[in-house]
Structure 1
């Protein structure tokens, strides 16, 4: 299926950011990268802010699709532990995009831009509501995955597959600590 012009523009804007940084992303640069006129782009996105919000949603939709694929079933059919396990697996072994990081950072100061990311995290790895040690272990696993993702997005030093696998295994043990305690 051929992507829509809107999707082509969003993907082009992400490529501009990945290649040149977020400050280089303008309506003009996105239009040029997508092979459309600025007027064609503005049919979909009247301002840079509209484009940025659409990109945030586009990126989080892509993350959601990857998480669902990793989970192997709809999120509504999964336990919180299964969802967090999928989050850990994707966070350790999934692709890392510098553009994702740039757009996440861009969203920090603007609640409307942060909302898609906050909604994604709230569904897949909600913060604990108690100080139960298992809930805190799950939060530690999530924070470790997020930190690993950030490190991979900003570091030029790759982790070996054995190290990534060891991290993966240890984080899943942390997520499942209560089950091990009960056994």
Structure 2
């Protein structure tokens, strides 16, 4: 049985390597050194670089899910669409460089990114489908706009290198979440 604490320490070491040197530097040797274990010790828990990267995405997804459950006060399965999306919005936070690197790389490695995509699918709604005359329903546009605005906060920092002050971030996230009006008649699950 693999001890989760050792596995978690290895994942944290991989995140530190990515933070300091970028994703391409996340190698078995570099992570083993950062974790203070032998290469063989790392390979015992993660038999390949792909397995290691998969472990990082699994940990990112688990942490993200935990934050959203806390923000919603309940699991996604018990929350309305608006409550789920409001929780998603409220946990949109300043990401570390490592988190940004892994999230951005997820587009190129959908199989590794799957745990994060599954969490996003539980807490957000898919792109809306057009209605009559290719018009999208107003409620669907409102929900999508809130998601895009929340996603825009972390991408803004990634693209500009300019951190958003925490007080402003909190106000922006609350403003976006308020646009969802979770007390409305939206009871769709």
- Report the TM-score when normalising by structure 1: 0.86
Q: CA deviation at 1:30?
A: 0.5
Instruction: Answer yes or no: is 1:117 the counterpart of 2:116.
Output: yes
Return the alpha-carbon distance in structure 2 between the equivalents of residues 167 and 28 of structure 1. Answer: 41
Decide whether aligned partners of structure 1 residues 69 and 169 sit closer, same or farther in structure 2, where only a CA change above 3 A counts: closer
Return the alpha-carbon distance in structure 2 between the equivalents of residues 170 and 81 of structure 1. Answer: 14
Deviations 1:33-88 (A, max 9, x none): 11110000001111111111111111111111111111122222211111111111
1:148 to 125, 133, 153: 153
Which residue is equivalent to 1:25?
Answer: 26
Which residue is equivalent to 2:133?
Answer: none
Instruction: Answer yes or no: is 1:77 the counterpart of 2:78.
Output: yes
Q: CA deviation at 1:156?
A: 3.5
Decide whether aligned partners of structure 1 residues 160 and 8 sit closer, same or farther in structure 2, where only a CA change above 3 A counts: closer
Decide whether aligned partners of structure 1 residues 127 and 171 sit closer, same or farther in structure 2, where only a CA change above 3 A counts: same
Q: CA deviation at 1:127?
A: 1.3
Unaligned residue ranges in structure 2 (runs of 5+): 130-135
Unaligned residue ranges in structure 1 (runs of 5+): none
Which residue is equivalent to 2:11?
Answer: 10
1:135 to 140, 154, 158: 140
Contact 2:57–2:115 (Cα < 8 Å) also in 1: yes
Decide whether aligned partners of structure 1 residues 33 and 160 sit closer, same or farther in structure 2, where only a CA change above 3 A counts: closer
1:160 to 162, 165, 172: 165
Structure number with the bigger relative contact order (C-alpha 8 A, sep ≥ 6) is: 2
Q: CA deviation at 1:164?
A: 2.6
Structure 1 vs Structure 2 CA RMSD = 2.2
Bigger fraction of residues in helix: 1
Which residue is equivalent to 1:101?
Answer: 100
Return the alpha-carbon distance in structure 2 between the equivalents of residues 70 and 170 of structure 1. Answer: 15
Deviations 1:95-123 (A, max 9, x none): 42111111122222222112122111100
1:175 is paired with a residue whose SS is: coil
- Greater Cα offset, 164-173 or 39-48: 164-173
- Report the TM-score when normalising by structure 2: 0.84
Which residue is equivalent to 2:181?
Answer: 176
Return the alpha-carbon distance in structure 2 between the equivalents of residues 161 and 102 of structure 1. Answer: 21
